[in-house]
Structure 1
Amino acid sequence: MEALPAVDETYDVPTSFGTVRVYRFDGPGGRPVVLLPGRNASTPMWADNLPGLLAHRTVFAADLLGEPGLSVQQRPIAGAEDQAQWFGEMLDGLALGGPHLMGVSFGGWAAANFAVRRPGRASSLTLLDPAMTFAPIAFRMLLASIPMGVPGAPERYRRWVLRWISGGAELDEYDPVAALIDSGTRDYVLRQPVPARFTDDQLRSLDVPVLALLAGRSVIHDARRAAETARKLLPRGRVEVWPEASHAISGEYPTEIAAGASTFWSEFSPG
């Protein structure tokens, strides 16, 4: 957290499924942005992104309920409807009406899931290589991830998987974000259902502008296939494939993401 800009306010928002930790970072006026991290991560993963985003908007960063972080899950989350329920209750508790949502990986799925199941509640979606949204999880990713969920998985194997997901980048044990994600995979046991991929009809039903930035070197899905699906089904979609990006796109291209999202919000979304 010390690597992030100063937090202006911290919230612990009660919901039907537990208490959600949210941080507010004040930026210029306009409709605020809610950030949703990927699996096994929490708010500090946005350290590189926040300075650029805060040049354009006020940002709320949430630790997803049921993931590593300072949110506290108190009831089982049974499926996609429960995910949308607690998320909507969190927005109500923050008195946020129609924010922009930005999510990476599983956080992208969570943003899309909320928009699918709660029409009219979000102003736009910015999805950074979202998992299980426009294409299924790649079979090789499924095979690689199975041992990661087993307590006591060898440290060497876990680090290999994290390096593979990040496009081969070596993990710096002194980098706090890398250490955070490494700890999330090692020390936290997930008790959540596997996200269900959206149907074609659900994607067609999305009533908000969607900016989908897909990583050309992603190992979680076929980026080209995902882009074809998104372009075909999203009523108001802007879909880009960034050829050199890995699934760690948010940390690889923070400046470009902030600039592209700001333009998108100004051109295609109210406020």
Structure 2
Amino acid sequence: MGRRGRVGSFRNDAARERFLEAYRRAMACLPVPDATFDVPTTFGTVRAYRFDGPAGASSPVVLLPGRTASTPMWDANLAGLLAHRTVFGVDLIGEPGLSVQRRPLTGGDDQAQWLDELLTGLGLESVHLMGVSFGGWSAVNYAVRRPGRAASLTVLDPVMTFAPVPVRTMLALIPVSVPLTPDALRRRVLRWLAGGADVDDSAPVAAMIAAATAGFVVRQPAPRRFTDGQLRSIHVPVLAVVAGRSVIHDGRRAAAHARMTLRHRRVELWPAASHAINGEYPDEIATAAARLWDEVDR
């Protein structure tokens, strides 16, 4: 298979147009970005948005979304976060969004490299990273492989970081990426991931994620779980918020392992939260994260 076939892409032009329309509707729910960037990297062009927070605030926050998601997934969080910091939203390379992948990603080193090149291109020397699910893994991966620029990490129920993904979850996720899977089954799986909450495709963000899962083919290696030594090597403060009702890992096991391995950490297990934690507890997340950022910046 040629290089083009090994990068993430839409199944066809119709799938791409459906996603782009859903993306535009979802972006319209966010505050209007103060700046939009398309930053060239070794692996493609990365779309990023800047939302300005309070004047004079310290290091900005960079948001890393979950798999098959993009910047609009943070619609519930942005208002609370912007009360404290300037925020950059990023569409991940290799995922559905307005970033354009041109070279295959082969592992964690490549994931860290494009993110580092993005931050360089944006002129950001010190940032607070916040990621959910795969975005949480991406934040930890960056701190492990490219230490120095991340001032802190806030990871929300990060996948393959502190505990493995159960086999039943991996099997359940297979239909989500199969093009002929009925929409009803795909919605049922997404509802299960969200702790039983209804998936309303009329909601702009839900419609965008539905269009992404149905129409985009992710072609990148699955994230590898970090070794204890890698986690212990992180020297910046980490706020790890683990969902007690998560299906991507055993929440208690993940929280315990985070406490055991992270050197500078605040680990919180939120028993009622599902893997859709960022949309369920936006105010609580903003408060906990801002407390960490203020402590670090002081």
Q: TM class by shorter-chain length? A: over 0.9
Matched, 1:70 2:132: no
Q: 2:51 aligns with which of 5, 22, 25?
A: 25
Give the match's secondary structure for 2:59: coil
Q: Residues 120 and 207 of structure 1 are in contact (CA less than 8 Å); yes or no, is this contact kept in structure 2?
A: no
Q: CA deviation at 1:49?
A: 0.2
User: Counterpart of 1:119?
Assistant: 147
Residue ranges of structure 1 left out of the alignment (5+ in a row): none
User: Counterpart of 2:4?
Assistant: none
Measure, in 1, the Cα distance between the counterparts of 2:110 and 2:182.
Answer: 33
User: Counterpart of 2:13?
Assistant: none
User: Counterpart of 1:175?
Assistant: 203
Q: Deviations over 1:181-207 (max 9, x none)?
A: 111110111001000100000000001
Q: CA deviation at 1:149?
A: 2.3
Give the match's secondary structure for 1:57: coil
Measure, in 1, the Cα distance between the counterparts of 2:59 and 2:129.
Answer: 10
Q: Residues 178 and 214 of structure 2 are in contact (CA less than 8 Å); yes or no, is this contact kept in structure 1?
A: no
User: Counterpart of 2:33?
Assistant: 7
User: Counterpart of 2:174?
Assistant: 146
Q: Residues 61 and 85 of structure 2 are in contact (CA less than 8 Å); yes or no, is this contact kept in structure 1?
A: yes
- The two structures have a TM-score, normalised by structure 1, of 0.98
Amino acid at match of 1:107: G
User: Counterpart of 1:270?
Assistant: 297
Q: Residues 56 and 262 of structure 1 are in contact (CA less than 8 Å); yes or no, is this contact kept in structure 2?
A: yes
User: Counterpart of 2:275?
Assistant: 247
Measure, in 2, the Cα distance between the counterparts of 1:56 and 1:226.
Answer: 29
Amino acid at match of 1:68: P
Amino acid at match of 2:178: V
Amino acid at match of 2:30: L
Amino acid at match of 1:10: T
Measure, in 1, the Cα distance between the counterparts of 2:176 and 2:200.
Answer: 19
Measure, in 1, the Cα distance between the counterparts of 2:64 and 2:210.
Answer: 18
Q: Deviations over 1:203-254 (max 9, x none)?
A: 0000110000000000000010001110001000100000100000000000
Q: CA deviation at 1:120?
A: 1.3
Q: Deviations over 1:113-162 (max 9, x none)?
A: 00000111200000000000000011111110122222222211111100
- The two structures have a TM-score, normalised by structure 2, of 0.89
Measure, in 1, the Cα distance between the counterparts of 2:113 and 2:84.
Answer: 29
User: Counterpart of 2:66?
Assistant: 38
Measure, in 1, the Cα distance between the counterparts of 2:186 and 2:152.
Answer: 35
Q: CA deviation at 1:172?
A: 1.2
Q: CA deviation at 1:175?
A: 0.5
User: Counterpart of 2:289?
Assistant: 261
User: Counterpart of 1:16?
Assistant: 42
Matched, 1:228 2:266: no
Matched, 1:59 2:87: yes
Q: How does 1:82-231 map to 2 (within 5 A)?
A: 82-231=110-259
Measure, in 2, the Cα distance between the counterparts of 1:116 and 1:230.
Answer: 15
Percent same amino acid at aligned positions? 65
Q: Give the aligned length.
A: 270
Amino acid at match of 1:49: N
Amino acid at match of 1:206: I
Measure, in 2, the Cα distance between the counterparts of 1:23 and 1:246.
Answer: 27
Q: Residues 33 and 99 of structure 1 are in contact (CA less than 8 Å); yes or no, is this contact kept in structure 2?
A: yes
Measure, in 2, the Cα distance between the counterparts of 1:27 and 1:115.
Answer: 24
Give the match's secondary structure for 1:146: helix
Q: Deviations over 1:37-87 (max 9, x none)?
A: 001100000011000000000000000000010000000001110000000
